[in-house]
Amino acid sequence: MEKAEKISFKSGHRARAVFLIFNYIFLSVLMLVMLIPLLKVFVDSIDPTTYGIRLIPKVIDLSAYKQIISSTNLYRPLLVSVFTTVSGTAVGLLLTTLAGYVIIQKKMPGRGIMVTFIFITMLFNGGLIPTYLTIKNLGLMNNFIAIIIPCSLSAYNIILMKSFFETIPSTLYEAASLDGCTPMKTFLKIVLPLSKPALASIGLFIAVGLWNEYMHFILYITDTRWQNFQVKVRDLILNDGISGTSITVSQDMLKNAVVVVVVFPFLMIYPFIQKYFTKGVTIGSVKG
Amino acid sequence: MANKRKEKSKDKNTVPLRVRIYHYRWFYFMFLPVFISILIFSYLPMFGIVYSFTEYTPFTKVPKFIGLENFKVLFEGKMFWRAFFNTLQISSVNLILSIVCSVGLALLVDEVSQVHFRKITQTIIYIPHFISWVVVAAIFTMVLSPKNGIVNAGIELFGGEPIYFLTSDKWWRPIFFIINRWKETGWGTIIFIAALAGVDMEQYEAARIDGAGHIQRIIYITLPSIAGTILVVFVLNLAKILNLFDSVWVLQNSMTTGVSDVIGTYVYRIGITSADYGLSTAAGLFKSVVSVVLVTMANKASKKIKGEGIL
């Protein structure tokens, strides 16, 4: 809209100016509403005296964080989360880019079948119990493969990736193959380097999905030693305590600190990747 | 498929299929890992649908064919229909709220001409989307806690009684909708903000010259221009309407199942907790079939209104 229009109280502009002022105030309040629950959790994790409506810490007490670092009970789930997220994102990006690259080969025999093969999984799936029994019968219980592949490979991401690859001019591929590049080499040397924005945004979606994964761990990891951090957070909040740890700090502080630890890694990388994902989402809105 | 392929190869008639396949050999090799992954994790489970026609628990060991018995039990059960109607009610209210709030917020953000303020707003409103449902539930359990949560502390400050938001039948759904809006409204605006950026500026100029006010311009130009995007988002979400699970699962507790039990949690409870695989698969199959019907109908509607389908 009239981007250049400045706030002014000249007659005729008054209603618009009032609206703009209201708009800025409304959006500011909205941002606060988004941030206060997060801020509150952080403040409560470092100051045991702030419970209630106070948002400014009086004292800074890091004992809850020390407890988390020293308690192996929380250490292991954290490592499990890091491991599944990193390896899953790598596997997911590899499979997604491979699939996307193969199905943009317009003249390849069988391309239609491949696209349909991928597309059907968006419409239909076996459902909870059949999937659970399949994993069980394949002996994949307590195996991270049962989490990494289903959580990192999605038909939607493949279609997204394909749409992005299609924006790369096809003359580039032809030039590469004339220069004697094998398809694999073209893929590694030309397609991937040109696809950084897509890799970043889809990689972020996959990583966030894996970092936040909960249900797959509940279903397929029955050995409690291999549970991830989200499951631990849930246990902690629901059961009102971590079994097996010698509690030296207040439970509430510890709960809050655990939430901070689980959200923090994302908030750290978020500003660096944020610029990419708007593009990623808008590509998705174009018909794939 | 086969016919189409023949026609295609006739067009290119000079090169035999064998040669063309050989030419693309590397691509088939590259597709292999994807093929195997999808086959194992998406297609193999589809065969498991036959369990819905069997009596099967970990104790019966071998699935015994019982025809449509599971479906009969399912459709006669009060619990299933309660879950079904809860799903419909919760999903549809959530869907409508989500579109209205996201479009409204996108319009407001679009009015912001100050680049920095706009960037900060967008950065902050997207954040909650990336926080898992488990952690969101944890945060709001603490924020809404009757003991020392900030909301109840506020209520008490004004002389009210603390409210047990998450364990009360009356409050559970409103709170569920609010938490959903907190988490997803900002993220929902992305697609509409992109659509708004594509609205033709000349139309605004023309309307201005014709003397249209700001509100009129929004109603007659902005909204019709992004109607297509709104429709696509609506239809896509309508198709997913029965897939409600994670959000409900983490916020649910035994005190509120009357208003919060949905098909997803019902299937989980019957299948995993009670280990009645046959009945649970039947419920899941019913859900899938209704979902596919919804997707197909939505696609047809979109074709009729927009001239093109979403699929």
Please say if the pLDDT value at position B274 is more than 50.
yes
Identify which of B121, B204, B285 has the shortest CB distance to residue A127.
B285
**A103, burial (CB in 10 Å: exposed 0-12, middle 13-18, buried 19+):** buried
Look at residue B182 in the predicted model and tell me its pLDDT: 97
Query: Do the domain assignments include residue B263?
Result: yes
B189 versus B7: the higher-pLDDT residue is B189
Tens of pLDDT, residues B96-108:
999 999 999 999 9
Please say if the pLDDT value at position B116 is more than 70.
yes
Residue of chain A whose Cα is closest to the Cα of B186: A34
Q: What confidence tier does B76 reach under pLDDT thresholds 50, 70, 90? A: very high
Q: Do A98 and B33 touch (CB under 8 A)?
A: yes
Please say if the pLDDT value at position A206 is more than 90.
yes
The least confident of A215-224, B6-15, B55-64, B280-289 is B6-15
Residue of chain B whose Cα is closest to the Cα of A252: B142
Element (H, E) at B65: strand B64-65
The least confident of A43-52, A221-230, B22-31, B153-162 is A43-52
Please say if the pLDDT value at position A1 is more than 50.
no
B203 versus B46: the higher-pLDDT residue is B46
Look at residue B50 in the predicted model and tell me its pLDDT: 93
Query: Do the domain assignments include residue B30?
Result: no
Look at residue A112 in the predicted model and tell me its pLDDT: 93
Question: Do A183 and A117 fall into the same domain?
Answer: yes
Instruction: Report the number of distinct structural domains present in chain A.
Output: 2
Q: What is the CATH number of the domain that holds B172?
A: 1.10.3720.10
**Angle, CA B87 vertex, CA B83 and CA B90 arms, to 5°:** 130
Please say if the pLDDT value at position A62 is more than 50.
yes
- The whole-angstrom separation of Cα B246 and Cα B266 is 12
Identify which of B24, B44, B124 has the shortest CB distance to residue A108.
B24
Identify which of A38, A125, A208 has the shortest CB distance to residue B42.
A125
Query: Do the domain assignments include residue B58?
Result: no
Q: What confidence tier does B95 reach under pLDDT thresholds 50, 70, 90? A: very high
Please say if the pLDDT value at position A198 is more than 80.
yes
The domain of A104 spans 73-285
Interface test with B, best of A16, A102, A129 (most B CBs within 10 A): A129
Residue A62 dihedral angles phi and psi, to the nearest 5°: -95, 15
Please say if the pLDDT value at position A286 is more than 70.
no
Q: What confidence tier does B195 reach under pLDDT thresholds 50, 70, 90? A: confident
Look at residue B33 in the predicted model and tell me its pLDDT: 96
Query: Do the domain assignments include residue A67?
Result: no
Residue of chain B whose Cα is closest to the Cα of A30: B125
Give me the interface pTM, i.e. the ipTM.
Answer: 0.84
Q: Do B284 and A130 touch (CB under 8 A)?
A: yes
Look at residue A64 in the predicted model and tell me its pLDDT: 86
Tens of pLDDT, residues A129-143:
999 999 999 999 999
Query: Do the domain assignments include residue B29?
Result: no
Look at residue A282 in the predicted model and tell me its pLDDT: 62
Identify which of B138, B232, B271 has the shortest CB distance to residue A237.
B138
The domain of B176 spans 71-306
Question: Do A190 and A222 fall into the same domain?
Answer: yes
Question: Do A24 and A96 fall into the same domain?
Answer: no
Contact list, A107 vs chain B (CB under 8 Å): 12, 20
Identify which of A98, A116, A262 has the shortest CB distance to residue B34.
A98
Q: Do A126 and B21 touch (CB under 8 A)?
A: no
Look at residue A14 in the predicted model and tell me its pLDDT: 77
Q: What confidence tier does A244 reach under pLDDT thresholds 50, 70, 90? A: very low
Query: Do the domain assignments include residue A65?
Result: no
Q: What confidence tier does A84 reach under pLDDT thresholds 50, 70, 90? A: very high
Contact list, A27 vs chain B (CB under 8 Å): 108-109, 112, 117, 121
Query: Do the domain assignments include residue A226?
Result: yes
Q: Do A282 and B37 touch (CB under 8 A)?
A: no
Please say if the pLDDT value at position A247 is more than 70.
no
Element (H, E) at B80: helix B78-111
Q: DSSP state, B54?
A: E
The stretch B32-53 carries a mean pLDDT of 95
A276 versus B308: the higher-pLDDT residue is A276
Q: What confidence tier does A2 reach under pLDDT thresholds 50, 70, 90? A: very low
Q: Which of A60, A83, A105 is the last residue of a domain?
A: A60
Q: Do B134 and A44 touch (CB under 8 A)?
A: no
Q: Percent of chain B at pLDDT above 70?
A: 94
Residue B56 dihedral angles phi and psi, to the nearest 5°: -150, 120
How big is the A-B interface in CB pairs under 8 Å? 259
What does pLDDT average to over chain A? Answer: 84
Tens of pLDDT, residues A4-32:
455 555 656 777 788 889 999 999 999 99
Identify which of A107, A132, A233 has the shortest CB distance to residue B138.
A233
A83 versus A241: the higher-pLDDT residue is A83
Tens of pLDDT, residues B224-234:
888 888 888 88
Element (H, E) at B55: strand B54-55
- The whole-angstrom separation of Cα A203 and Cα A216 is 19
Identify which of A123, A215, A281 has the shortest CB distance to residue B295.
A123
Interface test with A, best of B135, B230, B286 (most A CBs within 10 A): B135
- Region of residue A11 (phi > 0: left; psi between -120 and 50: alpha; otherwise: beta): beta
pTM equals: 0.87
Please say if the pLDDT value at position A242 is more than 50.
no
The stretch A82-108 carries a mean pLDDT of 94
Look at residue A11 in the predicted model and tell me its pLDDT: 57
Q: CA distances (Å), A69 to each of A73, A232, A260, A266, A269, in order?
A: 10, 15, 13, 19, 21
Q: Which residue has the tokens 């790369």?
A: A168
Interface test with A, best of B133, B144, B150 (most A CBs within 10 A): B150
Question: Do A97 and A238 fall into the same domain?
Answer: yes
Query: Do the domain assignments include residue A46?
Result: yes
Look at residue A82 in the predicted model and tell me its pLDDT: 93
What does pLDDT average to over chain B? Answer: 88
Instruction: Report the number of distinct structural domains present in chain B.
Output: 1
Q: What is the dihedral of CA A125, B137, A77, A49, to 10 degrees?
A: 170
Query: Do the domain assignments include residue A197?
Result: yes
Q: DSSP state, B131?
A: S
Q: What confidence tier does A204 reach under pLDDT thresholds 50, 70, 90? A: confident
Q: Which of A33, A60, A87 is the last residue of a domain?
A: A60
Look at residue B108 in the predicted model and tell me its pLDDT: 94
Q: Do A24 and B112 touch (CB under 8 A)?
A: yes
Q: Is A165 on the interface with B (CB under 8 A)?
A: no
Q: Which of A24, A39, A60 is the last residue of a domain?
A: A60
Look at residue A231 in the predicted model and tell me its pLDDT: 92
Interface test with A, best of B17, B18, B38 (most A CBs within 10 A): B38
Question: Do A103 and A43 fall into the same domain?
Answer: no
List, as ranges, residues 91-150 from A with C-beta within 8 Å of B: 94-95, 98-99, 101-102, 105, 107-110, 112-114, 116-118, 121, 123-134, 138, 149-150
B208 versus B1: the higher-pLDDT residue is B208
Closest Cα in chain A, distance from residue B191 (Å): 6
- CA A267 to chain centroid: 11
Look at residue A246 in the predicted model and tell me its pLDDT: 47
Q: Do B138 and A271 touch (CB under 8 A)?
A: no
Question: Do A78 and A14 fall into the same domain?
Answer: no
Closest Cα in chain B, distance from residue A130 (Å): 5
The stretch B242-270 carries a mean pLDDT of 92
- The whole-angstrom separation of Cα A254 and Cα B126 is 27
List, as ranges, residues 72-91 from A with C-beta within 8 Å of B: none
Please say if the pLDDT value at position A147 is more than 80.
yes
Question: Do A86 and A49 fall into the same domain?
Answer: no
Q: Do A130 and B153 touch (CB under 8 A)?
A: no
